[in-house]
A and B are shown apart, each in its own frame.
Chain A
Amino acid sequence: MAVIRSIALALMLLCLFITPPKADVQRVNTPFYGEVLFSFNQQKYFSAIVQLEKGLSQGQLANDTDEAQALLGSLYLAYGLHRNAQQIFNRVLESSVDNKSRNLAWFFLAKIQFQRGYYHLAVDHLEKISSPLSGQYEDERLTLMALSLMTLGKTEQAIEFLSQQMKGDNKVAYARFNLAVSLLKLGERESAIKLLNEVSAMPKQDAESAALIDRVNLLLANQYLENEQFDLANQYFNQVELQGRFSNQALLGLGWSAFGENEYATANAAWSELASRDSSDASVLEAYLARSYLLYQLKNYSDSLSEYKKVIDIYQQQLDLIEQQLNQTDFSKLILVMVELDSNDEIGWYWQHDVLEGPLLSGFMLEFVSSHEFQESLKNYRDLLFIKKNLSKQQASIHVFDDIIDVKTAANGENKPRAEARLMQLSAQNHDNKIQALADKIVEIEMNQDALALADSVELERLHQLRSIDYRLSFNLEELEDKLDYIKLVEQATKLQKKQRLLDGVLKWDLMTSYKARLWQIKKNLAELESENRSTDQFKENIKEIIKSLPQNFDGHSERLSAVGQRLGTATTQVDDLLRQYDAYLQSILRDELVAVKKRIEIYRSQALLSVAHIYDLNLKLGEVSQ
């Protein structure tokens, strides 16, 4: 039992000093890694892990792989996936990383071992750290080492490690407080008080440090009270803030301390102030008893008897209320109220909730609700609620994705054949041969200086006409050879032939003189044609690319979706089952605790009843008070 308590205490202590990994300003190489940091910096650990795992599996974090792996380990740790975190850090240690990363990996691994209760392994890992860690991690390392050594009974070494810490920091103060608590448990009172005094002397910088210092002062005062050093006890009780969380306990202790010094007026003032407070608080309930006892001590038996009777009634009322809570309270609903507001959050392991609904439970159960065991269970319960919501959302997504696949399959059925037909049409219009033929022709024209080949259609028509006229003139002259008017006709024909030759010469002259310009133009036209042809080819390539990018079908996606759907169904069943188990477990520990509180009040009540009997007994003897 002592060992279990010790482990549980250590776990509780660890929760106090472990904080979420700090995200310093960081420049990323890949946007997807930046996206992970965006979630991580908002403490959305679940989203960050999903994005990081996706990025790593798709090779999107190629330039940030080392940092991404280290971050994944931290994220697993932050989200309560300790085994996975350990695997990552082990991998980091196996690979040839730099010293800094190796030291950090040992540190995180030690954290995991500590949390799992393997303190000697935690110490082994911490001892492998070869140089001081950066920033906050160094103080955490020293704290972790001190607590591990402490649990292994190596007190002096633990204190030595704590003395190396930076003083003034809240986390360091917590560590010292925790170590002092451990030392007290081991009976090392002097060392504990020395540490507690160091924390007590720290300035109250904020609400957090003020609460811690109050707690330390209360612990110190109780130590002095136990040792009957009432002056010192008084001094520390008085330093606790009157309206703070620990004020009830301080007022109760202050009363006893004054009582110990026979300063009954001060004791009465402290307990009277306390008695006016919420009676669901254990200190208040005890103050009733203490005040009655004070009156007895002052031999004011009549008032003492009256007070005891009132106190018995109050205790009975409280016991009735607790009984009522035990019989009627829906603890399941109570637990749900505690976590429901935060169940959308992804904070994970560092989340803490210490408010219980209900006037009775809040006072009696405050300390229990803050305990490691209850908080850890509550975190898991809250995480399970988040998972349930997430799975429900993803179930809806699966239906949507199914519809998308149907729509895309249908669209593919129309678009793909259309694209393929267009591709065939373009492929049929192959201009490559024509362009090549034209290019060959130009080479030939250039080689032969063939200006006529560059004539346009009008010029060709004219040349054709002139050749036709020449032919017809020759033909007519042969036919008219024996005719009388031969001479006259020959003269006319000769004139026409001259004219035809002149025109032919002019046309050819024009062609010859414009040969270079025409050749340049036709070469330009050829280049343009080639360019257009290339564009068409590119267009064809684009269509091919589109066709290629269209999945042949969505069978692969459908299969994957179906497999995920099955896993999702299994996970949903598991989460429902675990939620039921956690609900029952949390209910049982809450109920057990309430029963323990009930027993405590029953002891108070018995004490009061015994006192009443004792006073009656005295009165009978002294005859001062009638029955």
Chain B
Amino acid sequence: MDVFFKKPLLAIGLLILLVFPILGVAEEQQKFQSLDEQVEALKKEVISINRELFILEEELLFPANTQTFFFLSMEGDTYFKLDSVELTLDGKVVSNYLYTDREVSALSKGGVQKLHVENLKKGEHEVVVVFIGKGPNGRDYRRGASYIFVKDFDPKYIELKVTESQQKNQPKFSVKEWE
């Protein structure tokens, strides 16, 4: 009978085992640490490789004297929910970007998206950007902004910016050179 009276205790023991997960043995822990260190070193090396290739790519595809960056930034997302952006450069559509919720959220937290990079000759150029999304009261919203800039031999940074007018309760769209 003793066996059976001990049963509740056995059950409790099993319950506690379920609450406190079974943990690994010492050898496994050591093995894990050794592998973990190797993974960490490899991660660092792969980051370094990616960085080097990133720099090489930029140098080869977009030489400093012609490179022109188009960045998109957002300040506030109360009156405008961005869906997509169409970027036209000197009359030619160069980018049509559709945003995920995650990207919009990243932009609204201060992130800046490198929307497009172009090689441009020295001289005057015109950029036209169309912002498409949902405006105040969830209505479809489509607004454009344009900007003429002069490209010289230095890299050029153009900012496509969505801001908000608290007074008018409306979004504002602008294109300017990054200051």
Whether a CB of chain B sits under 8 angstroms from the CB of A293 is yes
Q: How many Å lie between the Cα of A575 and that of B46 in the bound state?
A: 10
Whether a CB of chain B sits under 8 angstroms from the CB of A264 is no
Which bracket fits the contact residues of B?
A: 35 or more
Whether a CB of chain B sits under 8 angstroms from the CB of A545 is yes
A4 and B112 form a contact (CB under 8 A):
no
Question: CB-CB < 8 A to A40: which residues of B?
Answer: 106, 111
A293 and B23 form a contact (CB under 8 A):
no
Whether a CB of chain B sits under 8 angstroms from the CB of A28 is yes
Whether a CB of chain A sits under 8 angstroms from the CB of B71 is yes
Q: How many Å lie between the Cα of A293 and that of B21 in the bound state?
A: 27
Question: CB-CB < 8 A to B31: which residues of A?
Answer: 585
Contact mask B61-91 → A, CB, 8 Å, 1/0? 1011100010101010000000000000000
The answer to whether A27 and B22 touch (CB under 8 A), given A557-B56, A557-B60, is no
Contact mask B86-102 → A, CB, 8 Å, 1/0? 00000000000000001
Question: CB-CB < 8 A to A41: which residues of B?
Answer: 105-107, 109-111
Q: Which of B2-10, B139-147, B167-175 is found at the contact surface with chain A?
A: B2-10
B102 and A42 form a contact (CB under 8 A):
yes
Q: How many Å lie between the Cα of A58 and that of B63 in the bound state?
A: 14
Q: How many Å lie between the Cα of A28 and that of B179 in the bound state?
A: 11
Whether a CB of chain B sits under 8 angstroms from the CB of A26 is yes
Contact mask B3-19 → A, CB, 8 Å, 1/0? 11001101110111011
B160 to chain A, nearest CB (A): 11
B56 and A560 form a contact (CB under 8 A):
yes
B93 to chain A, nearest CB (A): 22
A360 to chain B, nearest CB (A): 17
Closest chain B residue to A8 by CB distance? B23
Question: CB-CB < 8 A to B22: which residues of A?
Answer: 367-368, 371, 593, 596
The answer to whether A31 and B49 touch (CB under 8 A), given A404-B61, A545-B65, is no
B20 to chain A, nearest CB (A): 7
Closest chain B residue to A76 by CB distance? B44
B172 to chain A, nearest CB (A): 16
A34 and B60 form a contact (CB under 8 A):
no
Contact mask A521-548 → B, CB, 8 Å, 1/0? 0000000000000000000001001100
B7 to chain A, nearest CB (A): 6
Q: How many Å lie between the Cα of A619 and that of B40 in the bound state?
A: 65
Cross-chain contact of B69 among A31, A384, A394, A405 (Cβ < 8 A): A31
Interface positions of A from 582 to 627, Cβ below 8 Å from B = 582, 585, 589, 593, 596, 600, 607, 610-611, 614
- 12 more A-B contacts (CB under 8 A) besides A26-B110, A401-B57? A1-B25, A31-B69, A33-B112, A35-B112, A37-B111, A46-B50, A249-B18, A283-B15, A290-B11, A293-B7, A380-B39, A614-B4
- Residues of B in contact with A (beta carbons under 8 Å apart): 3-4, 7-8, 10-12, 14-16, 18-26, 28-29, 31-32, 35-36, 38-40, 42-57, 59-61, 63-65, 69, 71, 73, 75, 102-103, 105-114, 122, 153, 157, 159, 178
